[in-house]
Amino acid sequence: MKKPLKALSLSVLALVSHGALAQAQSNNLDTALKKTGPNVIEWRRHIHQNPELGNREFETAKYITRHLKDLGMEVETGIAHTGVIGFLKGGQPGPTVALRADMDALPVTEQVDLPFASKATTQYNGEEVGVMHACGHDTHVAMLMGAAEVLAGMRDELAGNILFIFQPAEEGAPDGEEGGAELMLKEGLFKKYKPAVAFGQHVTSSLPSGVIGYRSGPLMASSDQFKIHVHGRQTHGSRPWGGVDPITAAAQIVMGTQTLVSRQIDITKEPAVVSFGIIDGGVRNNIIPDSVYMNGTIRNFDMDNRQEIFKRLKVTAEKIAEASGAAAKVEILEGYPVTVNNPTLTEEAIPALKAAAGDDKVMVIPKITGAEDFSFFANEIPGFYYFLGVTPKGTDPSTAASNHSPQFYVDESALKIGTRAITQLAIDYLDRQQNQ
């Protein structure tokens, strides 16, 4: 059925008007981003030089709070110990978009020769250690501070609200404490602000500077810890039959658990890994000890497989120990769930990423067996998480010092792209909701 000429003309005019508005908005955004770019670098360097471990980001939180208050936002502090929330109310009604950056550093002594390199030290597990933003969380905070400045300047144009989440303890809370995204949710963050979607980004040395990597569905693995105590009966090494050897039982458990993934889990669904990191038992070469302690990690990309691995690991360890006359106690410490990108939100996000980085610098990347507690947010509402390359031109990303390395290096020219991307994602989402 043909549209009436008048209606068709109005449609064309609307499209032209919308296109002109979009172009004007893009120009204004470019101007604002150019203005805040040097500030983002300055903020990043300050935070890099003054790193703090998880649940101890006191000065970082004060630094962020001052900035958000200067922008005229509603600000909450002390969320999940040291977290900071900024709430920007748009000029028009609409949904709330959550943008998240993590704040904590790592117990790593920096080895990068920079004028703003970290010289900070602290006590960690009873030892004096260096503290460094070896995972790039300093850049995440600075880029989100930049996005906050740009979006605050556009508040009258926004058809909705922005929730800026500056999150502590992504690397994990200290022993005996809760923290991170999980604690923020437990304290009612999303119940209070009711965001419709959440966006987050992470810098990485595995991509060239300015390149953005993403994928739909499972992006990062779940991360869980297991502890196994194998109990035998001590005896002289020359008379193993006089006791029960927990060391041989432990060795058999290590080998037996390797069949969990290769023979017992349906890996056509998603890959998984079970790895041992600690085996500790005995004090002398000719004494078979009473017990052996083992500790390891489980990584996988399917929540059903995750539970199946938990169950089978327990059964395997207990039965192998029993067959040796020993006993095994298995403890599973659940960590971060699978980080899953909402497929619809992922597809809708691609134009914003390309606007920030360029069509040829946005790519689908493989699954990552590292973990992220942004996963807790994405379990509650549709989420989208992506990676921003920071390895400078002339350095091969495959050999560059990785995140968590004392030599991890960030090419700061990528930060303008990350700031644009996280800002554009929020603007585009609110525009889509307004035009539906």
The pair phi, psi for residue 244, each rounded to 5°, is -125, 120
Q: Report whether 296 contacts 258 (CB < 8 A).
A: no
Say which residue the tokens 């400045």 belong to. Answer: 149
Separation of alpha carbons 218 and 340, rounded Å: 4
Rounded to the nearest 10 degrees, what angle do helices 137-152 and 58-70 cross at?
10
Beta-carbon-side half-sphere exposure of residue 267 (alpha carbons within 13 Å): 12
Q: 336 catalytic, yes or no? A: yes
**Coil, helix or strand at residue 360:** helix
Residue 225: C-alpha distances to residues 179, 209, 267, 276 (Å): 17, 33, 20, 10
The one catalytic residue in 157, 308, 348, 412 is 412
Q: Which of 22, 37, 35, 31 is nearest to 419 (CA)?
A: 37
Q: Report whether 222 contacts 426 (CB < 8 A).
A: no
The one catalytic residue in 336, 385, 409, 429 is 336
Structure tokens at 63: 């630094």
Structure tokens at 95: 């949904």
Task: Identify the burial level of 314 via C-beta atoms within 10 angstroms of its C-beta, where 0-12 means exposed, 13-18 middle and 19 or more buried.
Answer: middle
**Coil, helix or strand at residue 298:** strand
Separation of alpha carbons 336 and 172, rounded Å: 10
- Could you tell me which residues come within 8 angstroms of residue 144 by beta carbon, excluding any fewer than 6 positions away? 99, 100, 101, 164, 166, 422
Q: Report whether 325 contacts 235 (CB < 8 A).
A: no
Q: Report whether 147 contacts 73 (CB < 8 A).
A: no
Using CA atoms of 418, 358, 387, 424 in order, give the dihedral in degrees to the nearest 10.
50
DSSP 270: -
Separation of alpha carbons 277 and 297, rounded Å: 7
| Cβ count near 207 (within 10 Å) | 21
Q: 409 catalytic, yes or no? A: no
Question: Hey, which residues are catalytic here?
Answer: 336, 412
